[in-house]
Chains A and B, each alone.
Chain A
Amino acid sequence: MGVEPAITGLLDRWKSGDRSVENELVRWIYPTLRELARSQMRRQGQALTLQATELANEAYARLVQQQGVDWKNRDHFAAISATVLRRVLVDYLRERSAEKRGAGAERITLDGARAGEIPGAGDHFDWLALDQALNDLARADPDAARVVELRLFSGLEVEQIAAVCHSSTATVGRQWRFARNWLAQQLQLDTPQ
């Protein structure tokens, strides 16, 4: 089919640094990831833990199987699916809060994510506020915002993040160091003394 070359081409371009194709890629992956995330949440009931790594792996396997897409590199897939997972999560929470009319933040945690490294972020977290703050950060420092997204929504290690961002571990470290503290400040999280 025509699907495969298109998506492979997009991923190649994205891999080599072309962010302009990101939206299109996200559109390809979104439905699969959303479905998987929902079934994960349904299985768990009240306290939700989204397993970012597992979700990415499942989505990866499914897309390879369904569309015969050759992603070539799991790290790159995990990186793009971090963007998707963030949108899935935010969309889900918006829908839910619309349904329940201000039922407040869901108790959702991200397994394997480093929310715990954001000072004051406990098991539950105002993801919508975080999403907004991340958007603000992205306007000033898109690279740092991207690093946060990857730290929170993918199972990638610092070295892998540096590689997919065409950056260095030192730079990624500095970006994360600032961003986590700034985000904590923005979200007015209780900083334990």
Chain B
Amino acid sequence: MTPTAVDPQRLRRLRALFDDCIELPAATRRAHLDQATRDDPSLVAEVLALVAAEERAAGLEPERVHAHIDASLRQLLPDAVVPGMVVGAYTLEAEIGSGGMGRVFSAHRSDPGIDQRVAIKLVRREVLGASALQRFRAEQALLARLRHPGICQFLDTGTLADDVPYFVMELLDGAEPLLVFADRHALPLDARIALFRKVLAAVQYAHQSLVVHRDLKNSNVLVLPDGQPKLVDFGIAKSIAESVVDARTATAERFLSLASAAPEQLGGGPVGVGCDVYSLGILLYELLSGRPPFDAATSSIPELIERIVHQAPVSMATAAQALDDAALTARHLSRRHLGRSLSGDLGDIVLRCLRKSPGERYPSVEALDADLERLQQGLPISLRGSDRVYRLRRFVARHRLAVALGAALALSLVAAAWIVSLQNIRIRAERDQAEQALAILREAFLSADPARMGGELVSASDLLRATLPQLEAHRAQQPLAFATLAATIAEVMLELGLSAEADEVLDRVVAVQAQTPLPEDLRARVGILKARSLVAASALDEADAWLGAEPPAAPELRTSWLIERGRWLVRSGRVEDALAVLGQASATRSESAADDALLAAGRRAEVDALLRLDRLADADATLALLERHQSALPPLHTQHLLTRMLRIVILRRQGRHDDALALARQVQEGLESDFGTDSPISARGRVLVGNLQLVRGDARAALAEYEAAWKTQRSRLGESHPETLRTHVNRLEAMQALAAPRTVLDREYEQLYRHAVARHGAAATFTAFVLRLWAESLLAAAEPQRAAELLRSQRAGTALSQASESERNAHRKLLARLP
């Protein structure tokens, strides 16, 4: 039976020696073994016995081996190519490399008169099929085209007697892989970058020659002792034109190296320049940080694929933390300054190479090289502008616009289906036009794609606005399509907080309605949207008229209506009624999906109402309910941000100011990245942060936030929009805390008063409230006389005539403190 315990290590060695010997000519085996087993001569006999058994078996009882096994065995016969063999004008010396398809030998001219050494690549016999042959010839043809100091030079080509093709290349004597070279020479970071730029020059040249390498990795970038890198192994390279068309040939992909493959190579997507940029990023990452971003050694294949396709790599600074002191010293790095050395611009450059989508990476190796050059010269890199585009793209891809565009398309299809159902020739003509309008809309969205606008910053609202004129042109011809799409755009604008613009768009739809009857649901939807924009503008009576007394029948619309009615009731001061209505709205959606925007909107309105009633505990509980419902959403989902804005208010009311401020900062960052810095929603986030800073006594920081928010609101919503006015008030509060000069404050109050009148009228609660604040500020500045004059003025009298009871009381109380 089985002999005593087998030593795995010895067994592995046995196998390696056996494999060697099988490949060697019989005469040389003994010498090889003797040399390789000096420490354990007992191996010699064992290996030779195995080899002998193998050779007997190979020639033994062929009839026992089925035909198909025979065929497969023939494939496995050791390659006949061995050192000493003559290939064309050359004699093979030793195998110096082997890849998936080919083996590379060093060789010298057989003619002793010519002293020339070369490398010869032969295709492996066992993979020698039609497709392998084709690929081998393709590599040869590509390589013959390339002539660059950074690319291993092609010299000659030919075939062996049995038609096995080979080609002759420059021999890279003493060359070692890039990472090995850099570490062995203990190159500091700047020398590494300089070396890497030489690699880039070669790749750039290949790209200009319309060749993508597709397998750029450490072992394919060899550096000569003089520091000149050379690209080798264009085995799966392709001409650029070809690779775009022929992206899904899976055969070649089998040979690529997983850890440095771009996500689109794994996914079978189109492979182009971006894939080389990605692999260069992987290489640069490891060259600088000492670690691969995705380590094949420490994860299983499915894990690795998952990480390559979905996960962002950790920062280089973090990766480099794992280096030992010797490795750090070799890079002239200190542990304490890792962050400074490897993050910032350098980190951004590498991460941009590693973006998952090719369109988000550097568009060319040239652009990458240009950034590295600027970095070396201490100049600002190109990334800033493009980074904004990246963030916007992320927004477009992940959030509202994608959803909105999807919704717009879906709705147009509904509209089209409705028209088709009427089966009327005139209407059918309109259907064709509707489809045209749809095409126009799609075109408008696509033409505003930031990636196509050459780095120009495009905000979401710009995008929406850009579609309107295109749509407008079709209003007369296709009123129904126009109304459907315009209503959708208005809805998205409202979600982006652009209530003033949404209102204008809705008015255009209403104008259509005057001439062409719109379907019932569309009419109801426009009414609800109109009410939403009017409530946002504090035009409550008008909003009431648009809503009407009864909700529409369609379930989605009914919920929307209930929420809008609830918001209206809150603003009208009927908060208890609002809670009842909003409760109905939530009840219709309580079983819905985690990303249900309607349920979330309803719950948030409920929380808002509860806060107005000072029912803090109930508000807390209701918000927690929503948070639980949304816990299944991905962590960066926009809905979380909107929900957290309320959580901030609650934390503040609970006196947890530090928690509130921390959360507010986080939310603010998310809002800016999702909605853009200049969106009214981001402005709301800034106001929240400002409020908390003011509570903590940091008026200067608060003022900076208010100013930024105010600027956005004035340009996006208008000077006298209720949100703009509220921020104006906050701003003045901060200015007072900072003891701004009296003249400046008076001028500001005058301005605020005018805008209040423009929005709410001379006789209104808010107008009275502004005058009272002004008087309080005068009193605080020890000018009681002027405060008294202001409160007794004609302006104040008019304002109070229509003001709420509580505002009148406040005025009375203040007057009592004045002379």
Contacts and interface: CB of A to CB of B under 8 A. Distances in A.
15 contacts: A17-B301, A119-B53, A139-B6, A139-B8, A140-B10, A140-B12, A144-B15, A158-B72, A168-B127, A169-B72, A169-B75, A170-B75, A170-B124, A182-B11, A192-B60
A182 B14 contact: yes
A117 B73 CA distance: 11
Contacts of B11: 136-137, 139-141, 182
B155 interface: no
Nearest to A159: B72
Contacts of A180: 57
A178 B15 contact: yes
B300 A18 contact: yes
A170 B76 contact: yes
Interface stretch (A32-40, A87-95, A125-133): A125-133
B748 to A, nearest CB: 64
A191 B68 contact: no
Contacts of B1: 126, 129, 132
B72 A181 contact: no
Contacts of A192: 56, 60
B579 to A, nearest CB: 42
A192 B56 CA distance: 9
Contacts of B12: 140-141
A119 B75 contact: no
A178 B50 contact: yes
Given A114-B69, A166-B301, A169-B75, A177 B127 contact: no
B454 interface: no
A90 to B, nearest CB: 14
B57 A132 contact: no
Contact of B301 (A16, A132, A168): A16
A174 B75 CA distance: 11
B72 A185 contact: no
B244 interface: no
Contacts of A174: 19, 76
B267 to A, nearest CB: 14
A13 interface: yes
B126 A136 contact: no
B100 interface: yes
Contact of B15 (A132, A141, A187): A141
A103 B420 CA distance: 82
A177 B22 contact: yes
A3 B53 CA distance: 48
Nearest to A175: B15
A184 B56 CA distance: 13
A126 B2 CA distance: 10
Contacts of B3: 186
Most buried by A among B14, B19, B57, B124: B57
Contacts of A184: 53
B241 interface: no
A178 B56 contact: no
A191 B76 contact: no
Given A140-B9, A170-B76, A176-B76, 20 more contacts: A16-B305, A18-B301, A119-B60, A133-B2, A137-B6, A137-B11, A140-B6, A141-B11, A144-B15, A157-B68, A168-B127, A169-B75, A169-B76, A170-B126, A173-B72, A173-B75, A173-B126, A186-B2, A186-B3, A192-B56
Interface string B32-61: 000000000000001001100110110010
A17 B300 contact: yes
A185 B15 contact: no
Interface string A102-131: 000000000000101101000000100100
B6 A136 contact: yes
B301 A157 contact: no
Interface string A139-181: 1110010000000000001110000001011100110111011
B132 to A, nearest CB: 11
A159 B69 CA distance: 11
Interface string B85-117: 000000000000000100000000000000000
B526 to A, nearest CB: 45
B819 interface: no
Interface residues of B, number: 41
A16 B619 CA distance: 49
A182 B53 CA distance: 9
A192 B302 CA distance: 46
Contact of B50 (A139, A158, A181): A181
B15 A191 contact: no
A159 B124 CA distance: 16
Contacts of B65: 116-117
Contacts of B56: 119, 191-193
B547 to A, nearest CB: 47
B149 to A, nearest CB: 34
A32 B5 CA distance: 34
A20 interface: yes
Contacts of B774: none
Contact of B76 (A20, A141, A177): A177
A91 to B, nearest CB: 18
Contacts of A20: 300
Nearest to A119: B57
Interface in B721-766: none
A178 B57 contact: no
Nearest to B53: A181
B75 A168 contact: no
A151 to B, nearest CB: 10
A13 B303 CA distance: 10
A42 B733 CA distance: 94
Contacts of A177: 22, 54, 76
A85 B604 CA distance: 60
Nearest to B304: A17
B23 to A, nearest CB: 10
A166 B304 CA distance: 15
B68 A136 contact: no
Contacts of B300: 17-18, 20
| A-B complex: 4 closest residue pairs judged by Cβ atoms | A173-B76, A17-B301, A140-B11, A140-B8
Contacts of B76: 158, 169-170, 173-174, 176-177
A148 B57 CA distance: 16
B60 A116 contact: no
Nearest to B303: A18
Contacts of B5: 136
B3 to A, nearest CB: 7
Given A17-B300, A18-B302, A126-B1, A185 B49 contact: yes
B50 A16 contact: no
Interface in B119-135: 124, 126-127
B11 to A, nearest CB: 4
B737 to A, nearest CB: 60
A157 B72 contact: yes
A168 B100 contact: yes
Nearest to B77: A173
A116 B64 contact: yes
A118 to B, nearest CB: 9
A132 B2 contact: yes
A53 to B, nearest CB: 13
Contacts of A139: 6, 8, 11
B294 interface: no
Interface in B370-414: none
Contacts of B301: 16-18, 166
B561 interface: no
B125 to A, nearest CB: 9
B196 interface: no
A136 B15 CA distance: 13
A17 B303 CA distance: 10
A116 B68 CA distance: 14
Contacts of B73: 173
B75 A158 contact: yes
B278 interface: no
Contacts of A182: 11, 14-15, 18, 50
Contacts of B68: 157
A184 B69 CA distance: 19
